[in-house]
Amino acid sequence: MPNIILDIQNIHKRFGEQMVLNGIHLEVHQSEVLSIIGSSGSGKTTLLRCLNLLNEPDDGHIYFMGSDLMDPKTDLDQLRMHMGMVFQSFNLFNHLSTIENVMLAPIKLLKLSKDEARELATKQLTKVGMQEFIHYKVSQLSGGQKQRVAIARALAMNPKVMLFDEPTSALDPEMVGEVLFVIKTLAQEGMTMVIVTHEMAFAKEVSDTIVFMDQGVICEKGSPEVIFNHPKEKRTQAFLKRYIHI
């Protein structure tokens, strides 16, 4: 097996009374594209947000390149620099221009000079097809454009893994394609990715592994071929059936 990038061991997460994650075990390997599917409330977004501790699990361990994120002595900020995250609602910095959004972290965290950062940002924005828009304000971009800039912003930190939290759920249908295209390109380049998505066709096409979650646990895990064509679990079958009929 190739290197393990993320090793999640028995994490639990409660919101008040409700058990959102109930003992999750999961490994993500180098260059693996792993998609998490499941109905709303299954805990898939919470699981993804636990991977960089935006949500802190109540117990369990998350090893990222050998360091336990749950250890209080771990320098979380340092480790987060190596994990890119893309949000459903883009979360671009509204007071900065397109290119400044991408330049900020390389300048402040990687200590790049402005010129180096500008070069890096231009390269990443070109990669996501946004080179024409580098001086636009965030408010002037469409949803799909914002999301592509958000991907470039995460890529500029040269992450070891990219986390996508429903990256197309807030987009108008005609803009979904351009964002999925960028993610596909990353997959082909060997980027390690964990993707929470409702785009089943996309998940099937791009993923090495599919994880189906239900009620806070991983119900079934396997290759896209197995999960989509020959699911073993009743709950997986029921979920996919609903999806196909919608």
Partner 1 sequence: MNLLLSLPPKDQFFQTLWYLINTYSSFFIRGILITLLLSIVGTMGGFLLSLVLTMLRTQTIDYKRDSRIKRWMIKIGHIFADSYITVFRGTPMIVQAMIFYYGISPLRLFWWTPLVAGLFVVTLNTTAYIAEVIRSGINGIDKGQMEAARSLGFSRGRSLVLIIYPQAIKNSLPAIGNEFIVNLKDTAVLSVIGVFDLFRATQSATSSNFRVVEGFFIAAIIYLIMTYFTSMLVKKLEQKMDQSKELSHA
Q: Contact between 137 and partner 1 (CB under 8 A)?
A: yes
- Give the range of 15-23, 134-142, 179-187, 222-230 binding partner 1 by CB under 8 A: 134-142
Pairwise CA distance, residues 16 & 57, whole Å: 13
Question: Nearer to partner 1 by C-beta: 133 or 228?
Answer: 133
Binding of partner 1 by 171 (CB under 8 A): no
Q: Is residue 139 within the footprint of partner 1 (CB under 8 A)? A: yes
Does 89 interact with partner 1 (rule: CB under 8 A)?
yes
- What whole-number distance in Å separates Cα of residue 12 and Cα of residue 78? 24
- By CB under 8 A, is residue 149 in contact with partner 1? no
Segment interacting with partner 1, rule: CB under 8 A, options 25-33, 37-45, 60-68, 90-98: 90-98
Is position 157 an interface residue for partner 1 (rule: CB under 8 A)? Answer: yes
- Alpha-carbon distance of 78 to 114, in angstroms, equals 21
C-alpha distance from residue 110 to each of 79, 103, 155, 185 (Å) = 13, 10, 13, 25
Closest by CA to 33, choosing from 232, 180, 241, 242, is 180
Partners of 13 in the β-ladder: 21
Answer yes or no whether residue 104 interacts with partner 1 by CB under 8 A. Answer: yes
Q: Provide, rounded to whole angstroms, the least separation between the CB of residue 80 and partner 1.
A: 4
Q: Indicate the Cα dihedral angle 70, 71, 72, 78, nearest 10°.
A: -80
Under rule CB under 8 A, residue 238 binds partner 1: no
Residue pair 131/122 in contact (Cβ under 8 Å)? The answer is: yes
Residues of the shown chain interacting with partner 1 in the complex, contacts defined by CB under 8 A: 52, 54, 56, 72, 77-85, 87, 89-95, 104-105, 108-109, 137-140, 150, 153-154, 157, 163
